[in-house]
Structure 1
Amino acid sequence: MIYSKQYGQTGKHLIILHGLFGNCDNWHSIAQNLSEYYQVHCLDLPNHGNSSELKEATYPNTAKAIIEWMDHNSITESYLLGHSMGGKVAMQIASDAPKRIIKLMIADISPIDYSPSHLEIFKGLKAINLKKIKNRSEADEQLSNYVSDINVKRFLLKNLIKKEGAFSWRIALDTLQNNYQTILKKPLMNKAYTKPTLFIKGERSHYIEPEHKNAILEHFPNTTVKTIQGTGHWLHAEKPVPFISLIKRFCTP
């Protein structure tokens, strides 16, 4: 089951896919703004938020789950926007079902293999003793031994929920860790997506680099690359106004 939130009732469909450890709520303000023009659907990817667990979270399997969600909701075609890991899922969907995607937007990720950069995060999340912590502050304190960035900690701890007096994760933590090497790999794209594609890079981020150009053009030959100045990997949160402006301009016929 794929959980989604819809914003807006008119215009063409626009599906948004979050990154690793995220959920649909991360895109609430962006979706609200875009809902004036599109029917915006923010999805929880498998193993995240309120969506079901997917033990073998390969990009083809994840893409299949999203396409089935589109079928279930009678969405024959849609604009598609994905950030980070969600961008890789979006690439896979565009390759597997190109007729379903009007235009593709990829935020700060390339179709390449990446080196591990979340190992301390996994250690930190696993180190939090959910049975003993009494409040979120104690979870924050335990996570601080592994993650120093305040904003990253806040983002990660949005996955910590309390029900009936007990804390639990809103992510399938073990499954994500088991699939981490797969998540780092490039999507398994068998054919190029030739419709208009927009790659959006954060100026200070290293997820899209000049040496990735050939890989991008191989799979997405009709690509435009834009950079948002003064931003890192979380470009949509750091500079939402120029980010939204790029999306609107790109999607306008």
Structure 2
Amino acid sequence: MKVYLLTNKVSMIHAKQYGSSGPDLIVIHGLFGNADNWHSIAQGLAEHFTVHCIDLPNHGKSDSMSDASYPKMAEAVLDWAKLNEIRSFYLLGHSMGGKVAMQMAAIATKGLIKKLIIVDIAPVDYEPSHTKILEGLQAINKSKPSSRKEADTLLSQYESNLTVRQFLLKNLVRKESGFELALSVDNIASSYSTILKKPHIKDPVDIPTLFIKGENSDYIVAEYQDAISTLFPNANFKMIVGTGHWLHAEKPLPFTSLVRRFLE
């Protein structure tokens, strides 16, 4: 599947496009991720949709953004869609990207977003859980390790889970002075308290919405049901058994099938 690069400096957004026929589907990654995290899923969906995988501000190849609030990030993605003449689209967001997607749905003009998929996140405030990771990422950028192994050794002092470290280190890029992260870590750290907050949604969003939960994840729990139903009264719910927060990576085929059935 051919990959197209769409870069727009006005809206600070970089994206990868998969496919060129079918309705547009914009996909937004979570915290510390990037468009490449969704490569396999996008390839699977490109037969039916024109898939645009977004790098959010402060992530991947998109520009940095201080005070990365949900309204500011949502406006950046909406500006990108407008400049690329995407006049209506489906929208999918995972984790922090799900909150950006919710914010987009709350402020977009009526009819722009046809359907909305939110993956393992709720419109609520969360407790901090990435403080040590942020310290580790800042340490990597400061020390500029000479190898990926050296970067992993350094990060292991802050995060013991190998799978989490492997995900984070996908952001490593080689520079003349050593490896650095394709993340604006300082901006993310300064915006972290804002990222933990719920999106700014004044009125209920009536767009047809699907919330997908990982069975073993605690990002969507029963006590969040009222908040979801109040803000998204036209929502359905699905759960993928045997998965955690990264359900799309853990069980890509059931996940892709769910997405396609809901959108089609």
TM-score (norm 1): 0.97
CA–CA distance in structure 1, aligned partners of residues 142 and 125 of structure 2: 33
Bigger mean CA offset, 142-151 vs 120-129: 120-129
Q: 2:207 aligns with which of 191, 195, 216?
A: 195
Q: Give the structure 2 partner of residue 236 of structure 1.
A: 248
Q: Give the structure 1 partner of residue 161 of structure 2.
A: 149
- Following superposition, the deviation at residue 99 of structure 1 comes to 2.3
2:147 and 2:178 in contact (8 A); partners too: no
CA–CA distance in structure 2, aligned partners of residues 14 and 136 of structure 1: 34
- Following superposition, the deviation at residue 124 of structure 1 comes to 1.4
CA–CA distance in structure 2, aligned partners of residues 247 and 88 of structure 1: 18
CA–CA distance in structure 2, aligned partners of residues 196 and 132 of structure 1: 46
Q: Give the structure 2 partner of residue 59 of structure 1.
A: 70
1:130 and 1:167 in contact (8 A); partners too: no
Q: Give the structure 2 partner of residue 19 of structure 1.
A: 30
Q: Give the structure 2 partner of residue 82 of structure 1.
A: 93
Number of aligned residue pairs: 252
- Following superposition, the deviation at residue 131 of structure 1 comes to 4.1
Q: Give the structure 1 partner of residue 8 of structure 2.
A: none
Identity, in percent, stands at 56
Matches within 5 A, 1:1-253: 1-97=12-108, 98-128=110-140, 130-131=142-143, 133-252=145-264
Measured against aligned partners, the alpha-carbon deviations of 1:149-208 in whole angstroms (never above 9, x if no partner) come to 111101101111102353222000000000000000000012221121000000000000
Question: Unaligned regions of 5+ residues in structure 1, if any?
Answer: none
CA–CA distance in structure 1, aligned partners of residues 242 and 64 of structure 2: 36
Q: Structure 1 residues 199 and 142, CA, compared in 2 at 3 Å: closer, same or farther?
A: same
2:122 and 2:220 in contact (8 A); partners too: yes
Indicate the RMSD between aligned Cα atoms, in angstroms. Answer: 1.0
2:136 partner amino acid: G
